[in-house]
Every structure is written in C-alpha cells, then in structure tokens.
Amino acid sequence: MTETNENKQPFILIGYMGSGKSYVCKRLGARLGLKWIDLDDVIEAHAGKSISAIFVEDGHDAFRKLEHECLVQLLDELEYDLISAGGGAPCYWNNMALMNARAQTIYLRRDAQAILKYVLPGIDHRPLLSGKQPDEIEEYIKQTLAEREPYYLQARFILEDLESEALLDAVQQIMQSQGPEVTALRHLS
Ligand code: S3P
C-alpha cells in the first residue's frame, strides 16, 4: 500500500437536514471501521457551546464563518475518512468548491416530504426550524431546499431517495469504487 496522507481525500456527505448524513457516518463508520466526524461536533467543540447557542448568542453569520473555518481545518488535517457536513455548509463561503477540490462529495438527496418526516421528531435541536409551526416548517423546507439544490447538485456523487440499509450500501459502494484501499484508510494515518 503506497497511499500517503497527502493523497488521501476524505468523503464528505452533504444534504439537507434529515437526509441521513449522521446516520450514514455512524452506521457505515462502525461497519467499515472508518474514522468519521460530524462537522457540527467540531464547531461545537471550538465554540464551547451547542449549535443552537451559537445561533442565538452569536448569530447566523458568525455560525457560518465558524463552520467554514472548521471545515478548512478538517480538510487540512486529513484525519478523517468520512465527514458529515451540516445542511447549510455547501451554500456559504465557497465551501462547495472547496469540498469538491479537496474531497469526494456525496449528496444524499431527499424530497421535502421525506425530509419533514425525519426532522419533525428532533425539531427543538434544529435552530433553523424550532419555534415554527408544522405548516411553516414544510414551506420553509421547500423554499430553502430549492435555494440549496444548485449547491448540493454540484456534488461528485448523488444518491436519491434511499433509506436504511440501501443508503448505507450505496455509500459503501461509492467509497469502495474509489479504490480498494478505502476501507483500510483508517489504518494509513
Ligand atoms: C443547518 C444544519 C445543521 C446545523 C445547523 C444549520 C442548516 O446540520 O449545521 O443547525 O443550515 O441546514 P445537520 O444538517 O447535520 O442537521
């Protein structure tokens, strides 16, 4: 095995809230022994507070700036095989171009109805959705999804309307199609 850290490109899952990014990281990470991380967790560790608290205390722009800085740090460190990016990350600070230049991006695409089903139970932990009425939430998702799709659709790979095992298998297939070493990346660094 000759791959070095410099050649290693992480995989980054992108997509709207509730599209399954964290689920894939946790489940596929365990299945393949990958080193994975959620960008939101890095942001929270840097800020020393929750994502919701950052939104309330520092505001949206400050959150996006910190999100960008943490993304750059992850891409510089090359520590992780698989990264879950927050739903808005591809749409600010030229992050989509940055991710495509330095990682393999995978868009987990779901329509607004499916997204609604997944986000409703945990709405209180989602600062962009909490406090809204259910019908407002559906409208907000439809509108922001349409605004974000031009960014999401720049992903190198797009997986559409997949759930559970089928979603895990599809991401695994993409990762493995990029080289048999992928499942052993964890042991290279
Ligand atoms: C956001 C999505 C969240 C988190 C923040 C903003 C968004 O991440 O980064 O609440 O703008 O869509 P998840 O997509 O992982 O829930």
pLDDT of residue 124: 87
Is the separation of the CB atoms in 8 and 40 below 8 Å?
Answer: no
pLDDT of residue 141: 96
Does 126 fall in a domain?
Answer: yes
Q: Find the largest Cα–Cα distance for the chain.
A: 54
Does 150 fall in a domain?
Answer: yes
Domain that holds residue 164: 11-177
Q: Into how many domains does the chain fold?
A: 1
Q: With H, G, I as helix, E, B as strand and everything else as coil, classify residue 94.
A: coil
Distance 169 CA to ligand 1 centre (A): 24
Distance 21 CA to ligand 1 centre (A): 11
The beta strand positions in 10-128, using DSSP E, are: 11-14, 36-38, 82-84, 104-109
Does 26 fall in a domain?
Answer: yes
Does 130 fall in a domain?
Answer: yes
Closest residue to atom 15 of ligand 1, CA basis: 86
Does ligand 1 lie within 6 Å of residue 40's CB atom? yes
pLDDT of residue 4: 45
Does 67 fall in a domain?
Answer: yes
Closest residue to atom 16 of ligand 1, CA basis: 17
Alpha-helix runs per DSSP H in 33-59 = 39-47, 51-58
pLDDT of residue 2: 40
Does ligand 1 lie within 6 Å of residue 18's CB atom? no
With the most atoms of ligand 1 within 8 angstroms of its CB, the residue from 14, 92, 128 to mutate is: 128
Does 188 fall in a domain?
Answer: no
CATH classification at residue 107: 3.40.50.300
With the most atoms of ligand 1 within 8 angstroms of its CB, the residue from 17, 54, 58 to mutate is: 17
Does 182 fall in a domain?
Answer: no
Q: Whose CA is closest to 84, among 150, 125, 36?
A: 36
pLDDT of residue 7: 64
pLDDT of residue 178: 81
pLDDT in 10s for each residue of the chain, 189 residues: 344 445 678 999 999 999 999 999 999 999 999 999 999 999 999 999 999 999 999 999 999 999 999 999 999 999 999 999 999 999 999 999 999 999 999 999 999 999 999 999 888 889 999 989 888 999 999 999 999 999 999 999 999 999 999 999 999 999 988 865 554 444 443
pLDDT of residue 8: 74
Does 73 fall in a domain?
Answer: yes
